Amino acid sequence: MSRAFVNEDSGAGDPGPRFPLPDREDPGFDAAAARALLQGAHLGDTASAEAATGYYWGEPRLRPVVERILAEAREDGNERLEQLAERFLRVPSRTPQI
């Protein structure tokens, strides 16, 4: 194979965004997952945050947590976090199909 097609640097460099999360059984997992999804959106990498958390953007289970994050963002004047939380909450809740 030509050396032009060999990536000698694969695996080196910036590993991309990291989303440190507690164990899924930890009572704080959902709060950490919600923050990870918002951080992923801020970084333009929602897909990685979704993969790390196991939740999709707009997950109904996380709505109460994101509502609290939105209130904190407004109180702190964090306009970007406020914008992201509002966008998360605008995703229509999926109702179970019967």
pLDDT exceeds 60 at position 10: no
User: pLDDT tens digit string along 42-70?
Assistant: 999 999 999 999 999 999 999 999 999 99
User: pLDDT tens digit string along 87-96?
Assistant: 999 988 665 5
Distance CA 29, CA 72 (A): 18
Domain that holds residue 63: 27-90
pLDDT value for 92? 83
Token duo for residue 76: 């702190």
Token duo for residue 41: 């959106």
Q: Is residue 13 part of a domain?
A: no
Compute CA distances 22 → 52, 73, 80, whole Å: 11, 23, 25
How many domains does the structure of the chain reveal? 1
pTM of the model as a whole: 0.78
Q: Is residue 19 part of a domain?
A: no
Q: How far is CA 64 from the centre of its chain?
A: 15
Q: Which of 94, 84, 3, 70 lies closest to 37 in space, CA to CA?
A: 84
